Structure 1
């Protein structure tokens, strides 16, 4: 894949010139831990007559040692070579890990050097060596060194995780949070990171598979810690605004975003064809269009024309009663994307965040959710992430029944879907599904930009179609007077479904609509529609500015009310392989004008869902309080009887 126009090339000579320094670090250095607690034992070198390869003794039980720099310091090459016991030869995995670490250190030093040259840090370093930092520049020098340390640590972890991805297997290792993240300078950041990595290898790497898993897990934890620290750091704008590409490794540095390898997950789920989804006309139509929208993503520009023009669905909520077809809808959309990506040769990732990701260990549930997000948003792949039964997975704040793990997942999803650092490139989408959306935290639910009402089969024709579909062909029962699947003709069905939202469905919203309509007449101007929105807010205070944004996004989606032609998906040369500007122009030609009918329908569609959720949520809360009062009365009665 060629270099993106907004990326700078990190030249090979700029990386390899740091190899000697990287090897010196891996061979050994002294380090006194400042934050982390040492757990690894000191390496012991054999006598000169037995070779120079170092071995490690187990720590003597009960022996308390002083936390000082070890005489032999941190010797990662020796540590890695000793990870498989007494084998005198270096294994291919050990060699691969050391090569990856050397390469990752060199890349991090090269990027840090670029950062220093882009800022005044390089000049201040030279001045410091020549006689001292100029007066008045001391604070700036300190802040720039801290920023350089975070850049160095994150790029090192990022590159190491990326380079080791192809060596990973089924074995996983939990190394815990990184403690020794030092921010005095880039070099100190590497010393602290390598010291802690040495500790983790000693503690966890008992064979080659665990060695690779340990280093990879450490790299991911280092990235996460550096990115978290960077949220409150200063002088990082030059790093965040730039991006670098290492052509030889197909590796890119994009701020504090992990660069995952461009490989897709092999799906083993059962796919469904669109004609196998009966009813759910609007939800099916939007899923079909969203699947094709994702395929418009441009890997060179790292942006989707739909995200650029407006009308891309980054998050959506699919809700409906049990058995109405939510799982079938997921299987249909995943199947379409899988087929499209196979034709185009694009990597595709699908992943579901399930209740298995809730962990009893503090912080682990949040880590699982963040790993899920990072896997899907990887700009090197087309991604589709689902959170099925989100009401069970993500906790509702203020609900005493929500566990700490559930609340961790809620916090991660909220920050990832509409946080300060959220970037929508248009290469992925997230679907939240629930039978009971009223139990989802209000703020998290409002981060769903689109609403897919999964209401299942509705008409007589729908029920005939689904019966015929599920009966299969192994019978001789005649169909009778019915044109099979004619009712599922998507454009006709969708048009009727959208028209049905010209007036609200929920009683509370219909009352607001009728009152506003009687006061100001037809809602045919921006001012009148704004008055209607204010009336909705007065009826439900949870109808905030985020709701308006979601509505306007949905209107923009309606302006893209067209399907990309099937032949564009079947023959990638017609559209998918064209340049970004060509794709954008082709899409722009297909756009339709925004009408007042579209706006009113989308206001009603969104507000209906909020009123539906709110009514159910309030009713559930009331029922819970009634049960609680009943328990209290029964407990009081039994208590008084016992006292008597």
Structure 2
């Protein structure tokens, strides 16, 4: 892999020189817990032979530290060796955990050394040791020590989770919140974390099947806690402004973003071919285009030309009545991406966030949502994340019927899909699907950059095609006078579907369209189109600037109104394996001009969906209000009757 200007190689010799220090920490050190309290141990607190291990006081170069409290010895090697009971030999699982922890500690120390040098902390440490650090530099010294501690703690956890991920099984372990996060200096930070890890292993690991799960769960919690601390810390520019590449481990460290092992998920779903999706012409066409767009992602640049040039769909909403084909559409799109990735040798990760991810434990639903988002965002894979029945999963803000877990999920998705820290690389897409999109929080729904109306079969030909498809071949019934699947010819069907949006389809929007057209004439200039948009906003105040952004993004997608040639997917050398700039040029050559018709159609498509949602939402609210009034009237009648 070639290194970009902000990606620096972490040399193997710079890592290995810290092996002795890493082994020393795993072998044994003294630590007096400051914040956390020891767990109730499921296993003996000390493994046999701990008393014979050497014990020593930790020191940090350039710092003077002293503790008069009683220390507790931490011997992680012994703790890990005791994870499988009485077996005197170290198992492969135990060896992998020890090796992974040693490697992660060494990587963390190496990155900390680089950051310390780049930030000027090294010079301050030397001056402090010599007693030459002026009072005017004390505050900066303390800030940089805290920054170094946060960096080393996060890198240690990040590398641990990454290196041990291949050994994870089906067992899961809940470790709870990490408490002993110390930021006085880097070494103390590592000692605090290793002390708490030792406590977790002792309390939660009853056999080696749980060992890797416990260590990885602990690492995930550390990353989350340290990342939150880092948001209010200074002196982190040297770390956040650069990335480090560990070639031997295929590991890239990008600030406080968790690194994920670049491996795909094993899919067990039943894939569908495009001709097995009947009707839904625009939704099917856009899903097919998006599947190919994802494949343009450049793993070296970590960017997709479509994301840079415009026209990439990062989030979309698929809505329609029950039974119209949303699940089939997901199966088709996942199948296409899976097949394309198989040809190119790219890792593909599909993940669905379902109702079973909502947890009654406070904060757990939000953690599940964050993990889902991070897994799909992983820049080392092609990702496709779906949220089925999002109206049941993400609650409306202020809705008393929504659980705390649903509210947590809404907050996570809103930040992930269009938050201040959202970065669209073009390696993944998120699809939200619902039978009742009017029940989705307005702000979350508007974070869907594209709308896929999943309306199922519509015409006589569609119904004949779907009947023939579902009947299969185990019958002798003749087809009759019909060209099978001719109506599903995608380009022809899509062109017809787009033309239908030259005029609005919802009654409320149609009134606005006719009124504005009557005032300004044909919508053929930017000024007239803007007048139409203002008219829509006056009719529906929820039609905000975000709606305009989503419309212009959809127009840019239409400018990319072409499918990448099938041969580019079948032979990766033609396109997928080309350099980034070459890919960009090849895509640019296919781009088509933006027309007034495109803009009008996309305004109507988007606004129709919002009016459709609003009408349904209003109708539901009216029905609820009427129901409440009837209940109150009946209650009053019974109350007065009882008094009489």
**TM-score grouping bracket, smaller chain normalisation:** over 0.9
The answer (yes or no) to whether the contact 1:178–1:196 under 8 Å persists in 2 is: yes
Q: Secondary structure at the match of 2:405?
A: helix
State yes or no: 1:43 paired with 2:46. Answer: yes
Change (3 A) 1:44 1:273: closer
- State the TM-score, normalized to the length of structure 2: 0.95
What is aligned with 1:500? 500
- Contact 1:287-1:333 within 8 A present in 2 as well: yes
Alignment match, 1:248: 248
Q: Which residue of 2 aligns with 1:167?
A: 167
**Matched residue, 2:143:** 143
Cross-structure match for 2:90: 90
- 2:633 corresponds in structure 1 to 633
Give the structure 2 partner of residue 590 of structure 1.
Answer: 590
What do residues 387-417 of structure 1 show as CA deviations (whole Å, max 9, x unaligned)? 0100011111111110111111111111111
Which residue in the other structure is 2:404 paired with?
Answer: 404
Cα offsets for 1:510-531 (capped at 9, x unmatched): 2122222222222222222222
Partners of 1:33 and 1:69 within 8 A in 2: no
CA displacement at 1:213 relative to structure 2: 0.9
Kindly indicate whether the alpha-carbon contact (under 8 Å) linking 1:501 and 1:604 is maintained by their aligned counterparts in 2: yes
Higher mean C-alpha displacement, 420-429 vs 621-630:
621-630
Task: Report if aligned partners of 1:149, 1:184 keep a CA contact under 8 Å in 2.
Answer: yes
Please name the residue that 1:473 is paired with: 473
Q: What is the number of equivalent residue pairs in this alignment?
A: 630
Task: Give me the whole-angstrom Cα distance separating, in 2, the residues matched to 1:248 and 1:47.
Answer: 34
Task: Tell me which residue corresponds to 2:60.
Answer: none
Matches of 1:293 and 1:633, distance apart in 2: 58
**Partner deviation per Cα, 1:542-596 (whole Å, 9 max, x = no partner):** 1111111111111111111110000000111111111111111111111111111
**For 1:44 and 1:211, how far apart are their aligned partners in 2?**
16
The offset of 1:158, in angstroms, is 0.7
Name the CA distance, whole Å, in 2 between partners of 1:362 and 1:599: 45
Alpha carbons of structure 1 residues 68 and 488: separation in structure 2 relative to 1, 3 Å: farther
Q: Offset of 1:122 from its aligned partner?
A: 2.6
Alignment TM-score, normalising by the size of structure 1:
0.95
Question: What does 1:82-481 correspond to in 2, within 5 Å?
Answer: 82-481=82-481
> Are residues 255 and 71 of structure 1, via their aligned partners in 2, closer, same or farther at CA, if it must alter by over 3 Å?
closer
Distance in 1 between residues matched to 2:229 and 2:496, nearest whole Å = 51
CA distance in 1 between counterparts of 2:194 and 2:103 reads: 14
- 1:199 offset after TM fit, Å? 1.0
Secondary structure, counterpart of 2:563 in structure 1: coil
Q: Is the 8 A contact 1:30 1:70 kept in 2?
A: no
Compared with structure 1, are the counterparts of its residues 44 and 391 closer, same or farther at alpha carbon in structure 2 (3 Å cutoff)?
closer
Q: In the aligned structure 2, how far is the partner of 1:46 from the partner of 1:602?
A: 72
Give the drift of 1:87: 2.3
Partner of 2:61 in structure 1?
none
- 1:30-68 superposed Cα distances (whole Å, 9 cap, x missing partner): 2222221212565265499xx7699xxxxxxxxxxxx99
- CA deviation string 1:235-290 (max 9, x = no partner): 32332221111001111101222111111111111111000111101000000000
Seen in structure 2, the aligned counterparts of structure 1 residues 27 and 142 have a Cα distance that, compared at 3 Å, is same
Equivalent residue of 2:89, what SS?
Answer: coil
Residue of structure 1 equivalent to 2:78: 78
Tell me the distance in 2 between the aligned counterparts of 1:514 and 1:120: 67
What residue is the counterpart of 1:601 in the other structure?
601
1:125-163 deviation digits (Å, cap 9, x = unpaired) = 232222243343333222222222221111111100011
Q: Secondary structure at the match of 1:523?
A: coil
Report how far residue 631 of structure 1 moved. Answer: 1.9
Structure 1 residue aligned with 2:9: 9
Deviates further, 326-335 or 621-630 = 621-630
Single out whichever of 313-322 and 474-483 deviates more from structure 2: 474-483
Per-residue CA deviation, residues 463-513 of structure 1 (Å, 9 max, x unaligned), is: 111111111111222211111111111111111111111111111112122
2:623 aligned residue:
623
1:30 alignment partner, SS class: strand
With over 3 angstroms needed to count, the CA separation of the structure-2 counterparts of 1:35 and 1:643, relative to structure 1, is farther
Which whole-Å CA distance do the structure 2 matches of 1:154 and 1:364 have between them?
21
Displacement of 1:233:
2.7
Question: Shift of residue 639 of structure 1?
Answer: 3.3
- Cα distance in 2 for partners of 1:351, 1:134 equals 54
Quickly say closer, same or farther: Cα 1:318–1:69, change in 2 above 3 A: farther
Distance 1:466 1:450 in 2: 26
The separation in 2 between residues aligned to 1:417 and 1:321, in whole angstroms, is 25
Which stretch of structure 1 is more off in the superposition, 138-147 or 563-572?
138-147
Question: In 1, distance between residues paired with 2:269 and 2:493?
Answer: 28
The 8 Å contact of residues 504 and 510 in structure 1, kept in 2 or not, is answered as yes
Tell me, what secondary structure is at the counterpart of 1:179?
A: coil
Q: What displacement does 1:69 show? A: 5.7
Segment drifting more, 529-538 vs 375-384 = 529-538
Look up the SS of the partner of 1:82 in the other structure. helix
Instruction: Provide closer, same or farther for how the CA distance between residues 476 and 194 of structure 1 changes in structure 2, counting only shifts above 3 A.
Output: same
Distance in 1 between the 2:54 and 2:188 partners?
27
Q: Gaps (5+ residues) in structure 2?
A: 56-66
Q: Measured at CA, do residues 68 and 271 of structure 1 come closer, stay the same or move farther in structure 2, by a change above 3 Å?
A: farther
Q: Distance in 1 between matches of 2:69 and 2:201?
A: 18
For 1:214 and 1:69, locate their aligned partners in 2 and report how far apart those are by CA, in whole Å: 29
Counterpart in the other structure of 1:514: 514
Other-structure match for 2:547: 547
C-alpha offsets along residues 345-369 of structure 1, whole Å, 9 cap, x if unaligned? 1111111101010111011111111
Partner SS, residue 430 of structure 1:
strand
Q: Does the C-alpha gap of structure 1 residues 630 and 233 become closer, same or farther in structure 2, counting only changes over 3 Å?
A: farther
Distance in 2 between residues matched to 1:47 and 1:106, nearest whole Å: 24
State the alpha-carbon separation in 2 of the partners of residues 206 and 43 from structure 1: 14
Partners in 2 of 1:328 and 1:47 — Cα distance? 59
Q: Which runs of 5+ in 1 are unaligned?
A: 55-66
Question: Deviations along 1:87-120, whole A, 9 cap, x unmatched?
Answer: 2222222221111111111111111222222223
Q: For residues 300-345 of structure 1, what are the alpha-carbon distances to aligned partners after superposition, in whole Å with 9 as ceiling and x for unaligned?
A: 1111111111110000000001111101100000010111111111
